[in-house]
Amino acid sequence: MAAQTDVSKHYTHGGLTEAIRAGVVSLGKTTGNVTIDDLAPVDEFHIGGRRASEEFLDQLGFSAQMHVLDVGCGLGGAARFVASRYGSRVTGIDLTAEYVETGNALCKWVRLDPLISLQQGSALSMPFAEGNFEGAYMLHVGMNIEDKEKLAAEVARVLRPGSLFGIYDVMRTGPGELAFPVPWAATADLSAAAEPERYKKALQSAGFAVTAERNRRDFALGFFADLRAKTAAAGGPPPLGLHVLMGKSTPEKVQNMIDNISKGRIAPVELIARKL
């Protein structure tokens, strides 16, 4: 299994803030009037984009009185959604320093920086006190973390009793070798995709009770079909989209993702758990 530095290197772009700024300009906007809806196609780096965020995060009962944790926050797209939709204060942590730097810049562009703090670090060793948060979530993160048990234990440590922890990850749902590259891994040694049962056992061992599970295979295939149709109709990708993050390999990664899901090897799965 790859080291954390390899995972960070996989996601590092090299000029991400300026690439997104250029996309904003192409939309006819500026960093002074861009909105989280404008940014959503690029900074919600998970299957289903904004709709997936809404349908997943609405289950977690976040409010303006809560301080919540975004595990593997990436560019902070989900954090901005949570802060905007529910008014929650959000702290995010991510391995990739460039994502965190860009994410904090985007928070300032949309004037949500008073509610959001993103920082570089490992989800397996977080610099937060015990019981610091009243809720937590992660979207498409666990596929890069082999030690699900340590991950669950560390999230449990920083959550207060009764808090909900939501997971929306791509998980193994059937046999067969995965086709690579995919968005989270160029090669098999970077991938830690695991079965829902593995997650559930890790959560239960860490003191969580799993309260809900939902396989989103059909939703994912519909999302990709719609994305492909929109791209074809427009004659190419929009100024802001996941291609900004994945570069020239975007078509191959997306096609492999579709193939892997279609053949039943993987699917995005939601798990909701409550800390006892």
Pairing of strands 266-275, 208-215: antiparallel
**CATH number of the domain where residue 8 is located:** 3.40.50.150
> Domain range spanning residue 193?
4-275
Provide the number of structural domains found in the chain: 1
pLDDT (tens digit per residue) in 26-54:
999 999 999 999 999 888 889 999 999 99
pTM assigned to the model: 0.94
Please list the ranges in the chain whose pLDDT falls under 70. 1-3, 5, 8, 10, 12
pLDDT recorded at residue 3: 61
Segments in 47-161 forming alpha helices (H): 49-57, 77-86, 97-109, 148-158
Cα 138 to Cα 74, 83, 228, 271, distances in angstroms: 10, 15, 26, 10
Identify the residue whose tokens are 């998970």: 46
pLDDT (tens digit per residue) in 114-128:
999 999 999 999 999
Helix/strand/coil for 275: strand
Q: How far apart are the first and last CA of the chain?
A: 31
Instruction: Compute the mean pLDDT over every residue in the chain, rounded to the nearest whole number.
Output: 94
Which residues are paired to 71 by β-bridges?
A: 93
